[in-house]
């Protein structure tokens, strides 16, 4: 009898894009320790009612699809918030799957517990702005992010940093600051935020100009010398 996938709130059965080089199934876990104004996963950032029915379906699928699916992606929300995640991963690995973690990196010790085969770490903005812009409730953001970034660097080609580019949250000055923070990371993606469809706090972006393609290209040029590769992901 497998453990309950506590916190599971969404599921994509088959994905060819979420786990580099790996056909995967993607599990979305609810709850988040941030409130990014551009968040599209609004329904995932609060803990939902019991989803144990879904949990049983996922275990059944994982047992039956071993020949086709190679990996499981833990996404959210913020999957590291779930206390029984270690047990879940142990069970998933026992069946034979690789594990990828998508995280905002504020709980670096949990990343260690996860020990993912692939890690995607979101760096959102200047660590000093996490409380003001993203409603973070921790006071040592920079220390936490540095710890997570050291894991990314150790993992080499099996890890990436993602920076979502949104007005006010990522500016030229902020990019210059982040350049020092992420120096030495192998792969960095710049992903322009999509503010055209339902986001958590549209008012945050009221009366600010959108970030242009030219600005994103400039951010790429600024970051490139400090990292292995910086790619714009549309």
Q: Does 76 bind ligand SF4 (CB under 6 A)?
A: yes
Options 41, 171, 191, 220; binder of ligand SF4; rule CB under 6 A: 41
Q: Does 123 bind ligand SF4 (CB under 6 A)?
A: no
Angle in degrees, CA 8, 191, 11, rounded to 5: 20
Query: Least separation, in Å, of the C-beta of 23 and ligand SF4?
Result: 24
Options 6, 18, 78, 215; binder of ligand SF4; rule CB under 6 A: 78
Q: Does 79 bind ligand SF4 (CB under 6 A)?
A: no
Q: Taking a C-beta distance cutoff of 8 angstroms, is the pair 114, 99 a contact?
A: yes
What does R_g of the chain's alpha carbons equal in angstroms?
18
Query: Least separation, in Å, of the C-beta of 32 and ligand SF4?
Result: 3
Give the neighbor-by-neighbor strand order of the sheet with 118-122. Answer: 8-15, 24-29, 71-76, 98-103, 118-122, 159-165, 187-192, 229-232
- Which of the ranges 30-38, 109-117, 174-182, 187-195 carries the binding residues for ligand SF4, by CB under 6 A? 30-38
Query: Least separation, in Å, of the C-beta of 42 and ligand SF4?
Result: 7
Q: Does 162 bind ligand SF4 (CB under 6 A)?
A: no
Cβ-based neighbours of 25, under 8 Å, separated by 6 or more: 11, 12, 13, 14, 15, 58, 61, 62, 65, 69, 71, 72, 73
- Phi and psi at residue 72, in whole multiples of 5°? -120, 130
Options 39, 151, 159, 169; binder of ligand SF4; rule CB under 6 A: 39
Query: Least separation, in Å, of the C-beta of 153 and ligand SF4?
Result: 21
Q: Does 160 bind ligand SF4 (CB under 6 A)?
A: no
Q: How many chain residues bind ligand SF4 (CB under 6 A)?
A: 11
- Which of the ranges 72-80, 87-95, 174-182, 218-226 carries the binding residues for ligand SF4, by CB under 6 A? 72-80
Strand 8-15 and strand 24-29: the pairing is antiparallel
Options 35, 65, 146, 168; binder of ligand SF4; rule CB under 6 A: 35
Options 24, 55, 104, 148; binder of ligand SF4; rule CB under 6 A: 104
Cβ-based neighbours of 178, under 8 Å, separated by 6 or more: 123, 125, 126, 163, 223
Beta strands in the chain (DSSP E): 8-15, 24-29, 71-76, 98-103, 118-122, 159-165, 187-192, 229-232
DSSP letter, residue 43: G
Q: Does 18 bind ligand SF4 (CB under 6 A)?
A: no
Query: Least separation, in Å, of the C-beta of 122 and ligand SF4?
Result: 6
Residue with tokens 């086709």: 68
- Residues at the site binding ligand SF4, with contacts judged by CB under 6 A: 32, 34-36, 39, 41, 45, 76-78, 104
């Amino acid at each position: 009898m497998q453990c309950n996938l506590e916190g599971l709130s969404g599921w994509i059965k088959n994905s060819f894009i979420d786990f580099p080089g790996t056909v995967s199934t993607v599990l979305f876990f609810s709850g988040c320790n941030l409130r990014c104004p551009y968040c599209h996963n609004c329904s995932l950032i609060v803990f939902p009612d019991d989803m144990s029915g879904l949990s049983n379906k996922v275990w059944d699928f994982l047992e039956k699809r071993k020949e086709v699916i190679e990996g499981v992606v833990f996404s959210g929300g913020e999957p590291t918030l779930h206390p029984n995640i270690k047990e879940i991963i142990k069970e998933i690995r026992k069946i034979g799957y690789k594990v990828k973690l998508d995280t905002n990196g504020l709980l670096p010790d949990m990343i260690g517990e996860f020990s993912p085969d692939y890690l995607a770490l979101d760096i959102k903005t200047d660590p000093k702005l996490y409380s003001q812009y993203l409603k973070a409730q921790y006071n040592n953001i920079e220390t936490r992010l540095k710890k997570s970034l050291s894991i990314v660097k150790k993992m080499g080609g099996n890890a990436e940093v993602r920076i979502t580019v949104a007005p006010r949250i990522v500016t030229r000055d902020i990019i210059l600051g982040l350049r020092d923070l992420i120096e030495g990371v192998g792969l960095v993606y710049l992903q322009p935020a999509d503010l055209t469809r339902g986001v958590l706090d549209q008012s945050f972006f009221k009366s600010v100009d959108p970030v242009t393609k030219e600005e994103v290209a400039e951010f790429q040029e600024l970051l490139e010398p400090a990292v292995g590769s910086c790619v714009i992901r549309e």
